[in-house]
Amino acid sequence: MSLSPAELKAIGAAARWYARLRSDIATDADLAAWKDWLACDPDHRQAWQRMLDVGEQMASVPGSLAAPALRGADRSRRQVLRSVLVLVSAGSLGGLGWYSETSRNLFADFRTAVGERREFRLADGSALLLNTDTSVNLRFDGRHRVLDLLRGEIRVTTAVDPLQRPFKVLTRHAEVLALGTRFIVRCDEQGAGVAVIEKAVEVRSAGAGSTVRVEAGQSLDFDGRSLGVVRRNDASVGAWQQGSIIAINRPLAELLDDLSRYRPGVLRCDPRIAQLKVSGAFPIDDTDLALAALESGFALQVTRYSRYWVDVSSPATTLS
């Protein structure tokens, strides 16, 4: 039986909760938020149950493990975390054949949750800043320095390497070779892109069989079939580093898609106002404030059905 987009989204969220709860930084607040997520939508409970069921089938995990979590029994944080860790280590995610990519994201060397940004210092002295919902694997050896960007967005500031090893960022679409530089790379299901802040990079596409050099102040979008056209960076490039999205005469639907990367749940736009052009600076650390700014500044109506489902429409229209 195939899964609907809503079911896939719920299972993805369940997997992120697994990763969060099994991390060293999980807190009692995380546990409380997980319980809220579990209780707010039947799809969430079904997704959680699916994960547990697969764990039972693949590793003979006792069925008694799943029931208390779904009943909301008052268990200690330590007990819940132990249960989650057992399920993950037993290979519960591996039982979902289509789910292998998400499993890679969960166990990546570096990752961020939705709405989170984190900076890391690499062994060679390079700096890596991860934007929201980003996963990266690291492969440094005696000959190469490689970052495998599984999904999301990163800013890389390379350090001079005494061994003169090339520094590359790999995406599913192409390879970005740093030429002593600071640059941003993003990657999602639709495609990828690079924006250069200092010096230059070379983008090499196996599918297109070509290489394009991108200089400081320039950007390039690409996918698995072709490399795009080099263009100048605008004010919106890299604004997430300072905690905002800058929109310049941008369609509302595109802005909301971007904003939704920084908040859990569903953020819907009425198709009838999808092409409404908006401009402004919108905070990503407080997306509710960003929505309030849209509501007051552009005469829109923001309807909150729950913390995890928000519709944006015109006051004269309603979403079906």
Among 234-243, 294-303, 308-317, the minimum mean pLDDT is found in 308-317
Beta bridge partners of 206: none
Tokens found for residue 202: 């070379």
Q: How confident is the model at residue 234 (pLDDT cuts 50, 70, 90)?
A: confident
Among 2-6, 70-74, 259-263, the minimum mean pLDDT is found in 70-74
**What number is the average pLDDT over the span 261-281?**
92
CB 21 within 8 A of CB 80: yes
Burial of 84 (0-12, 13-18, 19+ CB in 10 A): buried
CA distance 1 to 108: 29
Q: How confident is the model at residue 31 (pLDDT cuts 50, 70, 90)?
A: confident
Tokens found for residue 316: 């004269």
- Whether 318 shows a pLDDT value over 60: the answer reads no
Tokens found for residue 29: 């607040």
- Whether 73 shows a pLDDT value over 50: the answer reads no
Picking from 237, 236, 249, the residue whose alpha carbon sits closest to that of residue 277 is: 249
CA distance 237 to 71: 46
**What number is the average pLDDT over the span 5-27?**
67
Query: pLDDT tens digits for 78-90?
Result: 444 444 444 444 4
CB 265 within 8 A of CB 117: no
CB 153 within 8 A of CB 262: no
Among 10-24, 102-116, 306-320, the minimum mean pLDDT is found in 10-24
Query: pLDDT tens digits for 39-71?
Result: 888 888 877 776 555 444 333 333 333 333 444
CA distance 252 to 276: 5
Greatest Cα pair distance in the chain: 64
- Whether 160 shows a pLDDT value over 70: the answer reads yes
**What number is the average pLDDT over the span 181-189?**
93
Q: How confident is the model at residue 26 (pLDDT cuts 50, 70, 90)?
A: low
pTM here is: 0.68
Set out the domains of the chain in order of their start, with CATH numbers: 5-106 (no CATH), 110-232 (2.60.120.1440), 239-313 (3.55.50.30)
**Which residues neighbour 186 within 8 Å (Cβ) at sequence distance 6 or greater?**
131, 152, 153, 154, 192, 193
Q: How confident is the model at residue 263 (pLDDT cuts 50, 70, 90)?
A: very high
CA distance 23 to 276: 41
Q: How confident is the model at residue 161 (pLDDT cuts 50, 70, 90)?
A: very high
Location of structure tokens 């300072």: 242
Beta bridge partners of 202: 177, 213
Beta bridge partners of 216: none
Beta bridge partners of 176: 169, 203
Q: How confident is the model at residue 286 (pLDDT cuts 50, 70, 90)?
A: very high
Picking from 229, 139, 221, 234, the residue whose alpha carbon sits closest to that of residue 188 is: 221
| Integer CA distances (angstroms), 166 to 137, 177, 186, 202, 213, in order | 16, 7, 20, 12, 16
Amino acid at 158: T
SS3 26: coil
124 compared with 319, residue with greater pLDDT: 124
42 compared with 218, residue with greater pLDDT: 218
| φ and ψ at residue 91, rounded to 5 degrees | 90, 30
- Whether 122 shows a pLDDT value over 50: the answer reads yes
Picking from 111, 85, 97, 96, the residue whose alpha carbon sits closest to that of residue 18 is: 85
**What number is the average pLDDT over the span 270-282?**
91
**Which residues neighbour 316 within 8 Å (Cβ) at sequence distance 6 or greater?**
none
**What number is the average pLDDT over the span 127-137?**
96
CA torsion angle for 158, 163, 169, 174 (degrees, to 10)? 130
CB 3 within 8 A of CB 47: no
pLDDT of residue 42: 83
